[in-house]
Amino acid sequence: MKRRDLVLIAALALLGLAVLTIALLQNRSKTSAGRMQVFVDGSLYTEVPLEAGKTLAIRQENGAENVIHMTKDGFYMESANCRNQDCVHQGPVTQDNWKTRVLGTHVICLPNRVDVVLVTDEYDPELPDV
Amino acid sequence: MPMAFRRSLACLAAVFYLLLCSCAPQGADASAAAQKFSGTFYGAFDTVISLIGYTEKEETFNAAFAETQEIFMHYHRIYDAYNAYDGINNLYAVNHSAGTGPVAAEPELIDLLLYMKELQPLLLGRVNIALGAVLSCWHEYREAGQAVPPVEQLQALAEHCSYDDVIINEEAGTVFFADPYLQLDLGAVAKGYACERAAQALLNGPMPSFIISAGGNVRCGLSPLDGRLHWGVGIQDPIAPSFLNQIMETLYTHDMSVVTSGDYQRYYEVNGVRYHHIIDPDTLFPSGFMHSVTVLTQDSALADALSTCFFLLPYEEGRVLADSMEGVEVYWVLNDGSVYFTAGMGPLLRSQGASSLR
């Protein structure tokens, strides 16, 4: 094997490593623990990073309004103008509690058709699907 | 080709292989190309309905999702007791005019009425779809949220709740109420019946690996294509405060329905007393035998009707009934928090050592 072969091999290996690292990092930021998704009527409305103390208001044309309060590792429904207030009573979702919640990573406002989801990349085959 | 150059090429190939591996979706190693998709829709049976499915192509999922939504909406309109729809002879239309003479009813409505007639002996008179007059009275008081219906009023309405007065003419496609004050209520079974129709369409289509969740009604299709054998279905702790919405048990199964009836699901409070929505046909008041009961059986309509039936039976009587049935397993949470389950249910429960993998 010649010297320039070694150089080529080393260069390719480095390139591979670099691309691998970038791919991994991108993957992590995509499914980071610190994000939440909001679905309105089944369609993705927005996906935002969590910022403790910040609120996000979802106002729809039909007058429906939900206010989501973010925490350092989750969120809760602060208020909603829906008739049953179930979403407010569903309490907070956090990185600690979602595995034991019936609704898992979700807080759902049925009358307003708002579904807020904590993004998590953890996979455990024994967790319920529904 | 010089040897050294060939080695370089081999090395290049190795690097590309490494790159490819890093780009493959996670968890897709074991079962080839199937990926997990999910979608949610609203508007049918006053609940949120989710579909999760494993398939190779997104288009396959999208088509299955659209079909599922269509089936649920179709049955929702036919079994809707509160709204009229143009050109549909639905439950609302039948309740409105079957007291004055035979009226046309959609075939899907006739089918469900006949199905419930067939189930009557099995349900021990606990689930009566002719109880509509009593149930709609409770519904109005619950919506108002101020008071409990007077006993005398409920008793007067209960005089008009005999299923024998529902005259179904299958050939003519009509329904007639021999008692003009009779009203039908399909709340105990309509969602499960629709869910089973949707499940059958999925099982016979290109995405048989799925799970449908329709507010307390779960229908599992064939095994998830991610290496697991079973789907996991969470059973809610009926005693824990609602804001915790705590899971108390996980049940692992596939190609089965799991339906829970509970006193925590739909209720209102008057003077600190909780009144839920499952009414005992004898007392005409919400039943108080237990907090919740979960039924596992293949057919979602049967699971739905049985969960109401078991909720309205004292545990001891329900246990005898459950033990006498083939292919039906039951899980009870009684008022003191104690848990009982049938022999076939145990091996499916996480607390008893069950796993999604075997």
* Interface ipTM: 0.83
Q: Is A103 on the interface with B (CB under 8 A)?
A: yes
Model confidence at A38, pLDDT cuts 50, 70, 90, reads: very high
List the one residue out of B69, B137, B132, B77 whose CA is nearest residue B105.
Answer: B77
On the 0-12 / 13-18 / 19+ scale of CB atoms within 10 A, A121 is exposed
**Chain A residues closer than 8 Å to B247 by CB:** 100-102, 128
Higher pLDDT pick, A11 / B345: B345
State yes or no: pLDDT of B265 exceeds 70. yes
Residue B30 clears pLDDT 50, i.e. is over it: no
Closest alpha carbon within chain A to B212: A130
Name the residue type at position B41: F
Contacts of B7 in chain A (CB under 8 A): 1, 5
Give residue A6's pLDDT. Answer: 80
- pLDDT at residue number B22: 45
Of all residues in chain A, the percent with pLDDT exceeding 90 is 69
- Domain holding B105, by residue range, is 88-186+209-358
Listed residue (A42, A85, A49, A94) closest to A67, CA to CA: A85
Nearest by CB to A16, which of B19, B231, B232? B19
Confirm if B159 and B131 have CB atoms less than 8 A apart.
no
Binary contact (A91, B243; C-beta < 8 A): yes
Structural tokens at position B12? 């290049």
3-class state of residue B277 by DSSP: coil
Which residues of B fall within a CB distance of 8 Å from A14? none
CB B221 within 8 A of CB B68: no
May I ask the CATH class of domain A33-119? mainly beta
Nearest residue, CB atoms, B47 vs list A5, A24, A110? A110
Query: Is B52 within 8 Å of A129 when comparing Cβ atoms?
Result: yes
Instruction: Label residue B299 by pLDDT band (50, 70, 90).
Output: very high
- Helix, strand, coil percentages in chain B from 3-state DSSP, rounded to 5: 35, 25, 40
DSSP B339: E
Query: Which of B250, B259, B267 is CA-nearest to residue B357?
Result: B250
| CA gap A109, A86 in Å, rounded | 7
How large is the average pLDDT for residues B166-187? 97
The answer to whether residue B33 sits within a structural domain is no
Nearest by Cα to A20 from B18, B324, B90: B18
Tell me, yes or no, whether B129 lies in a domain: yes
On whether residue B281 sits in a domain, the answer given is: yes
A44 CB within 8 Å of a chain B CB: no
The answer to whether B15 contacts A89, with C-beta atoms less than 8 Å apart, is no
Query: B115-121: long-range contacts at Cβ-Cβ below 8 A with a sequence spacing of 24 or more?
Result: B115/B189, B115/B193, B115/B301, B116/B163, B116/B186, B116/B189, B116/B305, B117/B163, B117/B168, B119/B302, B119/B305, B120/B163
Give chain B's domain count. Answer: 1
At residue A26, the pLDDT reads: 57
pLDDT at position A29: 47
Residue pairs between chains A and B whose CB atoms are closer than 8 Å: 102
- Does the residue B3 lie in any domain? no
What are the tens digits of pLDDT across the range B57-89? 999 999 999 999 999 999 999 999 999 999 999
Task: Output the pLDDT for position B216.
Answer: 87
Query: How would DSSP label each residue in A42-75?
Result: TEEEEEEE--TT-EEEEE-TTS-EEEEEEETTEE
Average pLDDT (B109-134) is 95
Question: Does residue B7 have a pLDDT over 70?
Answer: no
Nearest CA in chain A to B24: A23
Q: What are phi and psi of A8, to 5 degrees?
A: -60, -45
What phi-psi label fits residue B12: left (phi over 0), alpha (psi between -120 and 50 degrees) or beta? alpha
